[in-house]
Amino acid sequence: MVHLVEIVLPVFGLIAIGYVVAWSRLLGRASGEALADFVFVVAIPVFIFRVMATATFGDAPWLIWLPYYSVFAIMWVLGDWAIRYLFGRDARAGLVAGVSAAYGNVALVGIPLATTAYGDQGAVAITLIIAVHIPVMMTVSSVLIGRAERIDRVSDGPTSAAALIRSLARNLATNPIIIGLVLGLAWHFLQLPLAGLGRTLVDQLADLAPPLALFALGMSLRRYGIRRNVPSGLVISGLKLLLMPILVLLLVRYVVPMPPVWAKVAVIAAACPTGINAYLIAARFRTGEALASNAITLSTGLAVLSAAVWLTIVEWI
């Protein structure tokens, strides 16, 4: 129990401190946005670069993707279905719900949890999930955005496939996390040394990523908050924090055997609260903002308890 408290309380304590700082206006919204930009553009990409550059992958590292992304697809469909057919929302809101139910805050919450609980092995496992987390979300949502707009009759016709591919490729090529990942893999496979002054500078920036990510997340939660239509947000939070990790746990336990730490990290990643990109997609549609905001805020708040529960359950693996 003491070990569990030492993992969970510092992680969510930093989120709470960030929230209080934003609420008290000790730092304004512009400061919070600048801090979030630093985390996403510099700290986390450097952290991922270091993990990939120095990792020992072992056999078949892709095994961790099979259970996680199989369930990812299921949750996306369930989230879409629940909001469209249980709450009577349109296709665009359904897409927002699908993203909210499937896409977790693996970078901001998963990295600190995995590294605190499982050390370097946990960092490698969570980074492998992040390696395709953003590309999968961006690719699927880019394709489904046009479909949702046509279903809701707010778009005249299909977007050019070539234009869609160009936009997606440009977004991926300029994403700092993807750049850090690619550079780290290149460094690893070229067997380049990471030592001396270069290693010191990388370590200093990479070590900032977990605490600053949590603090920045807390500040951002103040901006999102809890809005109307709370029941739909609770449904999405239940799918994200409860059903998704249950399904991943069943797969890593009985279907896709892998190293114990990787199996545990796959479940913890699945139990991460809804990622902020859900709100960005809602803002793009001008619909579902309250749904995404509620899912982000409620799931992050509830994750204080659920994270402790899942960290306990995975020890049975």
Residue 60 is predicted with a pLDDT of 63
2-316 folds as Na+/H+ antiporter like fold (1.20.1530)
Burial class (CB in 10 A: 0-12, 13-18, 19+), 191: exposed
Q: What is the pLDDT of residues 246-283, one digit of tens each?
A: 999 999 999 988 889 999 999 999 999 998 888 877 77
Lowest mean pLDDT among 63-67, 103-107, 141-145: 141-145
What type of residue sits at position 244?
Answer: M
CA nearest to 248, candidates 75, 132, 124, 59 = 75
Tell me the residue type at 114: A
Q: Whole-angstrom Cα distance, residue 88 to residue 94?
A: 9
- Tell me what the mean pLDDT of segment 126-143 comes to: 81
Indicate whether 125 pLDDT > 70: yes
pLDDT band at 223 (very low <50, low <70, confident <90, very high): confident
pLDDT one-digit tens code per residue, 74-101? 999 999 999 999 988 888 888 889 999 9
> Is the confidence at residue 53, as pLDDT, over 60?
yes
pLDDT for res 2:
42
Give yes or no for a contact between 114 and 268, defined as CB atoms under 8 angstroms apart: yes
Beta-carbon contacts of 165 under 8 Å, excluding residues fewer than 6 positions away, are none
Phi-psi domain of 274 (left: phi exceeds 0; alpha: psi -120 through 50; beta: other): beta
d(CA 17, CA 20): 5
The per-residue pLDDT for 222 is: 80
Highest mean pLDDT among 34-43, 155-164, 282-291: 34-43
Cα 282 from Cα 54, distance rounded (Å): 37
Q: Which amino acid is at 229?
A: N
Q: Note the Cα 59 to chain centre separation in Å.
A: 25
Question: Would you state the structure tokens that stand for residue 109, as one six-digit string?
Answer: 């919450």
Asked whether residue 4 carries a pLDDT value surpassing 70, the answer given is no
Tell me, what amino acid is at 272? C
pLDDT value, residue 218: 86
For residue 157, pLDDT over 70 is answered with: no
Helix (H) or strand (E) holding 58: none
Q: Are 112 and 278 in contact (CB under 8 A)?
A: no
Return left, alpha or beta for 160; rule: phi > 0 is left, psi -120 to 50 is alpha, else beta: beta
Residue 317 pLDDT > 80 = no
260-270 and 111-151 are packed helices; what angle lies between their axes, rounded to 10 degrees?
Answer: 50
Is 158 a residue whose pLDDT tops 90? no
- Mean pLDDT, residues 140-153: 73
Instruction: For Cα atoms 40, 166, 68, give the angle at the middle one, nearest 5 degrees.
Output: 55
| Mean of pLDDT over the chain | 85
Banded model confidence at residue 11, pLDDT cuts 50, 70, 90:
confident
102 contacts 94 by C-beta, under 8 angstroms: no
**What predicted TM-score, i.e. pTM, was given to this entire model?**
0.84
pLDDT value of position 285: 66
What's the full length of the chain, in residues?
Answer: 317
% the chain with pLDDT above 90: 33
